[in-house]
Amino acid sequence: MVTDFQDRLRQIREEQDQAQRQARAADAERELARASAVELRLERREQLEHVIDEYAQKFSGEVAGFVRTKSFFEGKYRIELHCDEVLFDAQGHLGKFFSRLTFLLEIRPDAESIQVHVKKTVTNGDRDSSSYAVDYGTADLSGFNRFVEEQFVEFAADFLKSSRGRTLKPVTTP
């Protein structure tokens, strides 16, 4: 025979079980939303990376000696083209010089955007840096395409101008 006490215990247990099921369902829903947001950010970063890669490939086809690398730097995803050169200066001294074009992609969840920082160095000299923000929800990347193209064109102009007009001479091997 079931007593009133046992009924109350069952009711308490059922209420606890129901509350736990609801809490687990809410936790699972929050986790799914967070995972979807992370996935959206990573997909957007991949789209931006693809745009940069296309320009990098075209640039490398026209300007020899550059190597493309990808890594993380200070919490940002880095895509970099760099060229190391060993050159003689006007006095005949041997020196190592580098040029690089660096894109740092910074995911900014609070601003719902990816901030793209561009740093340029030509023959060991830093040039102006630039930034561009791309919202997660923006489907049109034409503005970003123009920005990336402009960065490559400016860098190429600086690099080619400095390589033609400099008093540095490449080291040649017999």
| pLDDT at 28 (0 to 100) | 74
The domain over range 45-170 is classified in CATH as 2.60.40: no
Question: How many Cα neighbours within 13 Å face the side chain of 26?
Answer: 6
pLDDT digits (tens, 9 = 90+) for 69-79: 999 998 899 99
Average pLDDT of span 114-122: 94
Indicate the average pLDDT of the chain: 84
The more confidently predicted of residues 141 and 103 is 103
Domain residue extents for the chain: 45-170
How open is the CA angle 44-47-48, to the nearest 5 degrees? Answer: 90
Residues 6+ apart with CB under 8 A from 116: 48, 103, 104, 105, 106, 131, 132, 133, 134, 144, 147
| pLDDT at 155 (0 to 100) | 94
Average pLDDT of span 38-63: 89
Residue 166 tokens, joined: 């400099």
Distance CA 94, CA 87 (A): 6
How distant, in Å, are the alpha carbons of 55, 164, 171 from that of 62? Answer: 11, 15, 22
Contact between 51 and 131 (Cβ < 8 Å): no
| pLDDT at 143 (0 to 100) | 92
- Checking if the pLDDT of 165 tops 50, the result is no
Distance CA 50, CA 161 (A): 28
Can you give the pTM of this predicted structure?
Answer: 0.72
Average pLDDT of span 24-52: 80
Average pLDDT of span 17-42: 77
